[in-house]
Amino acid sequence: MEKKPHFVRREFLPREVPSVSLALLLAAVLLLNALLYLYLNKFYSSLGRVETDPGLCPFGHFKFGAVKNCSPWLSCEAINREVRKLKCVGEGAVKKVFLSEWKEKKVVLSQLTNSELKEDFLHGLKMLKALQSKHVVRLLGYCEQQFTILTEYHPLGSLRGLNETLHIPKYKGMNTWHRRLMLAIDYVSVIRYLHSSPLGTLVMCDSNDLDKVLSQYLLTSDFHVLVNDLDALPLVNRSAGRLVKCGHRELRGEFVAPEQRWPYGEDVPFEDDLMPPYDEKTDIWKIPDVFNFFLGHVEGSDIVRLHLFDIHAACKKKDPAERPSAQEVLDTYRKVLTLLIREAAMPGTREML
């Protein structure tokens, strides 16, 4: 009988402690969820989720760096007088690119190199002017008469150098599945923007292999993705029955979509007039391959790939109509990022509950 109170006390304490622990755990989960919500809200706001940036200037103007006021796009006279070439940093089929200087700021001057491709050059300029947003490199000025375009300079260059950049000591901390997935989200955000642009549904035609795709985009110093080259951006207009063809030559290889390949077999010589046109779903087919480049093989990348297996399989459907839209891919990427960040922030929570 004397041991009874001692026995009751033993039985009571273990019941009380778990209830207190559970309450503290639930409070911690709620706090982490609130912090996660605030973080992701800020992240999506900075990611280029909307087409227009409130910090952008009115049409025909620009600002960059710490400058607060907007300036008009530089004219032919201003470019000739105020811009100084420093060195050639690249050359493609259409234009040559120079690192240049304007008012002690580094800028990029692009000039036409092949007069036969002046229509492509002028089309790229037209797109650059019309599509100014947080997805597109900033236009600073142009001179149509001299076939010259002036844009903002990004020292990390094109996405082709991403892996090399991530091995520089300064940027090694960025070499995580989290940061790499954010870059992939940026890329798909650009595709989504082009497919629902102010001009209509635009197709990224300079994308016949992975290296070519990566060369069309820039990596900013704060690790975002901008589209830089808009020379080959035809318009799909379904209501008018207008589809597109990316060039007039035969396209080969698994990287391009099935509908972009010659459909009549090796025995029939390629003829551009017989090649059927297609729509923007060619861009969707290429997303998984570009994504694999972005993600690389860092720790945790296999888990990310597993979560995105279904959406990437859908992107590779042979029938373009069965592929998801860029918006659907983007939504899936964001959901997976949110899920994985939550799991990383609260490991083991489910088991503890």
Question: What gap in Å lies between CA 107 and CA 96, rounded to an integer?
Answer: 14
What ranges do the domains of the chain cover? 71-153, 154-346
Q: Minimum mean pLDDT among 91-100, 127-136, 140-149: which range? A: 91-100
Question: What gap in Å lies between CA 302 and CA 137, rounded to an integer?
Answer: 32
pLDDT at position 26 over 70: no
Note the pLDDT tens digit of each residue in 80-94: 999 999 999 988 888
Question: What gap in Å lies between CA 326 and CA 3, rounded to an integer?
Answer: 71
Tokens of 91: 């050359």
Eight-class DSSP state of 306: H
**Model confidence, pTM:** 0.84
Map residue 35 onto helix, strand or coil. Answer: helix
Out of 3.90.180.10, 3.10.20.440, 1.10.10.10, 1.10.510.10, which CATH number does the structure's domain 154-346 have?
1.10.510.10
pLDDT at position 12 over 70: no
Q: What are phi and psi of 264, to 5 degrees?
A: -105, 15
Which amino acid, one-letter code, is at 258?
P
What's the pLDDT at 35? Answer: 57
CATH superfamily of 71-153: Phosphorylase Kinase; domain 1 (3.30.200.20)
Q: Which has the closest alpha carbon to 286: 191, 199, 183? A: 191
Question: What gap in Å lies between CA 173 and CA 170, rounded to an integer?
Answer: 7
Q: Which has the closest alpha carbon to 207: 149, 246, 261? A: 246
Characterize 146-173 residue by residue with b for buried, 16 or more Cβ atoms within 10 angstroms of its Cβ, and e for exposed. ebbbbbbbbebbbbbebeebbeeeebee
Asked if residue 189 lies in contact with residue 179, where contact means CB atoms within 8 angstroms, the answer is no
Q: Which has the closest alpha carbon to 156: 122, 206, 106? A: 106
pLDDT at position 234 over 50: yes
Asked if residue 331 lies in contact with residue 220, where contact means CB atoms within 8 angstroms, the answer is no
Residue labelled with tokens 């080259």: 229
pLDDT at position 227 over 80: yes
Question: What gap in Å lies between CA 212 and CA 251, rounded to an integer?
Answer: 13
Q: Cβ contacts of residue 67 below 8 Å, gap of 6+?
A: none
Map residue 313 onto helix, strand or coil. Answer: helix
Helix ranges restricted to H, the chain: 3-46, 76-82, 118-130, 162-165, 177-195, 210-215, 281-295, 301-307, 309-315, 326-345, 349-352
Question: What gap in Å lies between CA 261 and CA 250, rounded to an integer?
Answer: 7
Note the pLDDT tens digit of each residue in 159-175: 999 999 999 999 999 99
The pLDDT confidence band at residue 241, using thresholds 50, 70 and 90, is confident
Q: Which has the closest alpha carbon to 91: 108, 113, 107, 109? A: 113
Which amino acid, one-letter code, is at 114?
N
Q: How open is the CA angle 188-338-136, to the nearest 5 degrees?
A: 25
Question: What gap in Å lies between CA 261 and CA 278, rounded to an integer?
Answer: 11
What's the pLDDT at 266? Answer: 92
Mean pLDDT of 196-219: 96
Burial of 283 by CB count in 10 Å (0-12 exposed, 13-18 middle, 19+ buried)? buried
Burial of 294 by CB count in 10 Å (0-12 exposed, 13-18 middle, 19+ buried)? buried
Question: What gap in Å lies between CA 125 and CA 131, rounded to an integer?
Answer: 10
At how many degrees (to 10) do helices 326-345 and 281-295 cross? 30
What's the pLDDT at 87? Answer: 96
Note the pLDDT tens digit of each residue in 254-303: 999 999 999 999 999 999 999 999 999 999 999 999 999 999 999 999 99
